């Protein structure tokens, strides 16, 4: 695990040099075991920073908000934003760069390697703690999580507590960065798509029953869309507001405007929403797992994205987030693309 | 008559090849099932996955997307893009648990009226054996 002191030193340095506008990192939250995002603007605030296996969030989402607020300012501060990125977060940056949503000099990336493990899973942690709050979470020497609560100190093997995505992580070190902390540890991954192979193997009607049950739960809060660093479109096809209603718009026009998805959380509509989301993330999702983490109804959204990640790899040998110069998956083609399904 | 299930098949045909192919089938007086609802689009590459989902959502029992053969696209490469995109839609629909026969893609050129009738005949036959599509249909 990268030491917090190294991280603080690095953040302090760039803030004092005035290289960055501010740095986005993690600080201790007030009412749960998990940290919250911290916006560090001055060198004194650096002390707030923390770095431990509970730093789950993908902070690259804030670049989307940053770009929007910058566009509104009259005299924007042109300095880059500092960002603490893990391996998965850095891949998100790569996709944003690939799509020219941000420029490389808009961000100053402090890459931290996850080294031997990754981050923990919030739900698994809460289950283990049974309502108690963790005061401190760290790695022990023998690669266990050590969780300190008010009463006790619990030691849990990494495998039991690690987030699902970390168990299937292809590169647990940043692939794009300005400063790199820690060391690159490449681990051998036996089965990168283990979670979805389970579903692929079951018979069709059971698959259907599984997804029907899962997607039926959706209340369409759109938390998954709000948290996703790739869902940055100004207008979303799911919203029915992307139709300019002016004083001249007739009732007839309003009635006939195209509405792809109804707002009601009926199964058929939920299905279209999640399907469209998955398709839009094909070849872009970098598997940060945020959509699944924020889902208040525990829908395994990640499994949809992971499926398309697998197909992209198997059919087109494409992996998102490793190269910001490659053409995007659905805007390029090869003559030898598979077409065995076409009559 | 009357009791037998008549499936509804929505076919997105590209204007330059497949739609012309279906026209050829028509003017040549070839017989094929009337279950198909042909929709002419400018290119198979312009078929958004949303069109396909929406067809299922509004009650289609099967959806066909058809374009020019590779290399023959009027817009040079639209069908290549379609090929990639449709592959994802197909894989994901199967992953969710929809019968894979319900969604198909084909290449039909303007001269292939017979191929068009054959594909529609086969498709309708398959849909008849599958029965109505109720999984993705919007409840009224």
pLDDT in tens, A43-61: 888 999 999 888 899 999 9
Q: Which residues of A touch B138 (CB under 8 A)?
A: 262, 266, 268-269
B76 touches chain A (CB under 8 A): no
Whose tokens are 């509509």? That residue is A269
Least-confidence region, from A158-162, A212-216, A276-280, B67-71: A158-162
A&B contacts, CB < 8 Å:
103
10 Å Cβ neighbour count for A314? Answer: 12
A193 touches chain B (CB under 8 A): no
- A1 vs B133, higher pLDDT: B133
Share of chain A above pLDDT 70, in %: 98
B95 touches chain A (CB under 8 A): yes
Share of chain B above pLDDT 90, in %: 94
Angstroms from B1 CA to nearest CA on chain A:
30
Please give the full DSSP string across A154-191, using - where no structure is assigned: EEEEHHHHB-HHHHT-S--S-SS-SEEES-------S-
- Residue closest to A204 by CA, chosen among B35, B100, B29, B26: B100
Q: Which of A205, A300, A310, A339 to mutate to test the interface with B (most CBs of B within 10 A)?
A: A339
Angstroms from B92 CA to nearest CA on chain A:
7
A245 vs A238, B31, B91, CA distance in Å? Answer: 17, 47, 38
Q: Which residues of B touch A212 (CB under 8 A)?
A: 97, 135
Beta partners for B104? Answer: B64
104-123 in B: which are within 8 Å (CB) of A?
104-107, 119
| pLDDT exceeds cutoff 80 at A254 | no
A330/B49 touch (CB, cutoff 8 Å), yes or no? no
A140-184, pLDDT tens digit by residue? 777 788 888 888 888 888 888 888 888 888 888 999 999 999 888
Q: Which residues of B touch A211 (CB under 8 A)?
A: 96-97
Average pLDDT (A217-228) is: 93
Question: What is the structure's pLDDT at A243?
Answer: 66
- Residue closest to A286 by CA, chosen among A297, A271, A302, A272: A302
- Residue closest to B86 by CA, chosen among A199, A306, A273, A337: A337
B84/A333 touch (CB, cutoff 8 Å), yes or no? yes
What is the torsion angle, in degrees rounded to the nearest 10, for the CA atoms of residue A302, residue A24, residue A176 and residue A321? 20
Q: Which residues of B touch A335 (CB under 8 A)?
A: 70, 80
Give dist(CA A242, CA A216) in Å, integer: 26
| pLDDT exceeds cutoff 70 at A241 | no
Give dist(CA A185, CA A188) in Å, integer: 10
- Determine the length of chain A: 343
B17-53, pLDDT tens digit by residue? 999 999 999 999 999 999 999 999 999 999 999 999 9
Q: What are phi and psi of A115, to 5 degrees?
A: 55, -115
SS3 A40: strand
SS3 A196: helix
Q: Tell me the longest C-alpha to C-alpha distance in chain A.
A: 70
Angstroms from B42 CA to nearest CA on chain A:
18
Is-contact B32 B120, C-beta < 8 A? Answer: yes
Give dist(CA B138, CA A19) in Å, integer: 54
Q: Which residues of B touch A277 (CB under 8 A)?
A: none
A340 touches chain B (CB under 8 A): no
CB-count exposure of residue B40 (10 Å: 0-12, 13-18, 19+) = middle
Question: What is the structure's pLDDT at A242?
Answer: 57
User: Which of A200, A311, A330 lies nearest to residue B81, judging by beta carbons?
Assistant: A330
Q: Tell me the pTM.
A: 0.91
A86-97, pLDDT tens digit by residue? 999 999 999 999
B85 touches chain A (CB under 8 A): yes
B83/A200 touch (CB, cutoff 8 Å), yes or no? no
Q: Which of A196, A275, A277 to mutate to test the interface with B (most CBs of B within 10 A)?
A: A275
Average pLDDT (A275-292) is: 93
A342/B83 touch (CB, cutoff 8 Å), yes or no? yes
Q: Which residue of A has its CA nearest to B139?
A: A268
Give dist(CA A191, CA A205) in Å, integer: 25
| pLDDT exceeds cutoff 90 at A237 | no
Structure tokens at A173: 């070190």
- Residue closest to A109 by CA, chosen among A94, A122, A120, A124: A94
Average pLDDT (A20-29) is: 92
A209/B97 touch (CB, cutoff 8 Å), yes or no? yes
Average pLDDT (A261-289) is: 91
Q: Residue A117: which residues within 8 A CB-CB, separation 6 or more? A: A1, A53, A139, A143, A158, A162, A166, A172
Share of chain B above pLDDT 70, in %: 99
| pLDDT exceeds cutoff 90 at A100 | yes
B95/A266 touch (CB, cutoff 8 Å), yes or no? no
Least-confidence region, from A17-31, A224-238, A239-253: A239-253
- Residue closest to A270 by CA, chosen among A259, A278, A262: A262
Q: What was the ipTM of the complex prediction?
A: 0.92
| pLDDT exceeds cutoff 70 at A233 | yes
Q: Residue A38: which residues within 8 A CB-CB, separation 6 or more? A: A24, A25, A26, A27, A45, A48, A49
Q: Residue B79: which residues within 8 A CB-CB, separation 6 or more? A: B14, B43, B44, B45, B67, B68, B69, B70, B72, B73, B107
User: Which of B50, B80, B97 lies nearest to residue A204, judging by beta carbons?
Assistant: B97
SS3 A83: strand
Q: Which residues of B touch A342 (CB under 8 A)?
A: 83, 105-107
A268/B119 touch (CB, cutoff 8 Å), yes or no? no
| pLDDT exceeds cutoff 70 at A307 | yes
B52-82, pLDDT tens digit by residue? 999 999 999 999 999 999 999 999 999 999 9
Q: Residue B27: which residues within 8 A CB-CB, separation 6 or more? A: none
- A138 vs A90, higher pLDDT: A90
């Amino acid at each position: 695990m990268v030491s917090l002191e190294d991280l603080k030193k690095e953040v302090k340095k760039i803030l004092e040099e005035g290289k960055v506008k501010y740095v986005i990192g993690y600080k201790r939250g007030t009412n749960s075991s998990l940290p919250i995002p911290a916006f560090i603007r001055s060198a004194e605030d650096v002390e707030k920073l923390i770095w431990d296996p509970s730093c789950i969030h993908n902070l690259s989402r804030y670049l989307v908000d940053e770009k929007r607020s910058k566009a509104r300012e009259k005299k924007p501060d042109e300095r880059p934003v500092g960002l603490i990125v893990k391996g998965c977060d850095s891949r998100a940056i790569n996709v944003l760069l690939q799509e020219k949503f941000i420029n490389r000099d808009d961000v100053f990336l402090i890459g931290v390697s996850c080294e031997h493990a990754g981050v923990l899973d919030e739900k698994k942690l809460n289950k283990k703690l049974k309502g108690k709050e963790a005061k401190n979470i760290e790695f022990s020497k023998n690669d266990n999580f050590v969780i300190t609560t008010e009463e006790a100190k619990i030691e849990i093997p990494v495998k039991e507590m690690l987030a699902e995505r970390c168990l299937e992580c292809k590169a647990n070190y940043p692939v794009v960065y300005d400063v790199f902390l820690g060391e690159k540890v490449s681990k051998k991954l036996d089965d990168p798509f283990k979670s979805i192979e389970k579903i692929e193997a079951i018979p069709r009607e059971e698959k259907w029953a599984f997804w029907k049950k899962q997607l039926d739960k959706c209340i369409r809060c759109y938390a998954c869309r709000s948290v996703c660093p790739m869902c940055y479109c100004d207008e979303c096809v799911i919203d029915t507001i992307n139709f300019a209603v002016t004083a001249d718009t007739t009732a007839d026009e309003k009635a006939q405007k195209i509405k792809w998805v109804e707002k009601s959380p009926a199964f058929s509509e939920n299905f279209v929403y999640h399907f469209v989301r998955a398709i839009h993330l094909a070849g872009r999702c970098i598997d940060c797992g945020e959509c699944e983490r924020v889902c208040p109804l525990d829908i395994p959204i990640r499994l949809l994205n992971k499926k398309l990640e697998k197909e992209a790899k198997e059919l087109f040998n494409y992996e998102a987030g490793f190269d910001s110069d490659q053409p995007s998956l659905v805007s390029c083609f090869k003559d030898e693309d598979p077409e065995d399904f076409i009559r | 008559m009357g009791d037998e299930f008549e499936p509804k098949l929505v076919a997105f045909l590209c204007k330059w090849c497949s739609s012309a192919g279906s026209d050829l089938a028509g003017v040549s007086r070839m017989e094929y099932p009337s279950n198909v609802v042909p929709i002419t689009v400018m290119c198979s590459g312009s078929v958004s996955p949303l069109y396909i989902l929406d067809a299922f959502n509004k009650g289609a029992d099967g959806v066909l997307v058809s374009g020019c053969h590779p290399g023959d696209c009027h817009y040079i490469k639209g069908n290549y893009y379609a090929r990639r995109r449709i592959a994802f839609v197909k894989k994901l629909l199967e992953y969710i648990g929809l019968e894979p026969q319900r969604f198909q893609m084909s290449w039909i050129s303007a001269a292939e009226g017979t191929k068009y009738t054959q594909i529609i005949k086969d498709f309708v036959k398959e849909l008849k054996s599958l029965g109505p599509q109720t999984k993705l249909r919007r409840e009224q």
